[in-house]
């Protein structure tokens, strides 16, 4: 049975908008894309000496298991030229699973919900646009509430 999955997509190398659009197009091979947020220009966090990102959120219905979906997302990243040379460094595309229905999962390879999503404006702002009432299964708060509780900082600019 298909589950609603929320993803965060980001790019800060090359034609960022093209990379996001291409990744979204390829997601359709793995489920039904239900909603896509606007694109958001976001400043890098953690590793700050790099170009700004373009981010968005996607809601999709997926019939795969979380592990299979993650493998599918990694194959999209690889097909779009992602090379992992530096943790949190520059990348053509990054696709993270934020929420997978109301599932809570922690394995060596995958943690759902995404363990840092509630602290990342670049993930919450686009997600709140398409799923403000979705609930974080561990924190029990809606995406809108998590976004409202974030401290100031982390520049996120909605693009047309």
- Residues known to be catalytic: 82, 91, 94, 96
For residues 62-97, b (16+ Cβ closer than 10 Å) or e, as one string? bebebeebbebbeebbeebebeeeeeeebbbbbbbb
Q: Which of 129, 128, 158 is nearest to 55 (CA)?
A: 158
In terms of C-beta density within 10 A (0-12 exposed, 13-18 middle, 19 or more buried), how is residue 137 classed?
middle
Q: Could you tell me if 31 and 63 are in contact, meaning their C-beta atoms sit under 8 angstroms apart? A: yes
Q: Could you tell me if 38 and 159 are in contact, meaning their C-beta atoms sit under 8 angstroms apart? A: yes
């Amino acid at each position: 049975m298909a589950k609603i999955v929320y993803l965060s997509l980001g790019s800060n190398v090359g034609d960022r908008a093209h990379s996001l659009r291409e990744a979204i197009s390829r997601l359709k091979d793995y489920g039904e894309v239900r909603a896509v947020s606007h694109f958001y220009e976001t400043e890098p966090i953690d590793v700050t000496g790099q170009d700004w990102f373009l981010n968005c959120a996607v809601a999709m219905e997926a019939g795969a298991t979380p592990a299979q979906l993650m493998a599918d997302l990694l194959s999209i990243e690889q097909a779009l030229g992602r090379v992992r040379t530096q943790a949190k460094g520059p990348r053509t595309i990054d696709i993270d699973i934020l929420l997978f229905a109301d599932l809570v999962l922690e394995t060596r390879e995958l943690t759902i919900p995404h363990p840092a999503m509630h602290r990342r404006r670049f993930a919450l702002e686009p997600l709140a646009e398409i799923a403000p009432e979705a609930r974080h299964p561990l924190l029990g708060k809606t995406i809108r509430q998590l976004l409202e509780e974030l401290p100031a900082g982390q520049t996120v600019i909605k693009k047309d």
